[in-house]
Amino acid sequence: MVNSLNERNFSGLDNHQQGAALLVSLVILLVLTVLALSSMQGTSLQERMVSSQRDAQIALEGAEFALQEAETVLSGGTLPTFQPSNGFYDEDDPAPVAVLDHATWAAPSGGGHGNGTRQAPMPKDEDGNDLLAANPRYFIKATPATGAASSAGFGLGVGAAGDSMQQSGLSGTVYRVVAFSSGASGQAGRAIEAYVVRAD
């Protein structure tokens, strides 16, 4: 009789210990799950950040591509007629100011030149696929004449550059070029500005 009571007590104790082990295991599993989810969220955030940086770099390269196209236009034999609607601004024409606003660079329906900017060709990869969501765009503005009082207001020493050209016996016109690309996603806007001298 004593033996059977002891067996029952030990049996009840074993059952109680098995329940505690299950509870501890569930708590540990819960902690591991929370840690795994936190790690996955961190990885996802880092992946989005890297993707955003990559798209920004592609947008910058697209803007540089448009800048090269503008330099090609300015180095040609004859310049096109300056009309603000087609992205060529004379000295007295006000050029766009919001150069990081996507609306400034919106292409006209059907694409091409217009709406105050010019369309650069679409850069392609080795398989002929488009590298950008939309063609990069640019506009060109003629700066005031060399030595003009208003040329000093353009910054970056443009007036001084024009004056030094004149002193060295060279003559030419300085053009301000602003180029823009929205990247591969169409969401990463990057604009660059350069001054290009066209010798007369």
| CB burial readout 126-147, b (16+ within 10 A) else e | eeeeebbbbbbbbbbbbbbebe
Return the ∠ at Cα 183 (arms to 180 and 186), rounded to 5°.
Answer: 100
122 pLDDT band, cuts 50/70/90, is very high
In angstroms, the CA 3 to CA 192 distance is: 92
What is residue 158's predicted lDDT score, i.e. its pLDDT? 47
Average pLDDT of span 123-152: 80
The percentage of the chain sitting over the pLDDT mark of 70, rounded to a whole number, equals 77
pLDDT at residue 98 above 70? yes
Write the pLDDT tens digit of every residue in 15-55: 555 677 788 888 899 999 888 888 888 787 888 888 889 99
Digit-coded pLDDT (tens) for 159-190: 455 555 555 555 678 899 999 999 998 888 89
Task: Report the Cα–Cα distance between both ends of the chain, in Å, rounded.
Answer: 120
Task: Return the domain boundaries, the chain.
Answer: 55-199
Helix (H, G, I), strand (E, B) or coil at 24: helix
Cut 0.75: pTM above it: no
pLDDT of residue 177: 95
Torsion over CA of 14, 20, 23 and 29, rounded to 10 degrees? -90
Q: In DSSP terms, which residues pair with 188 in a beta bridge?
A: none
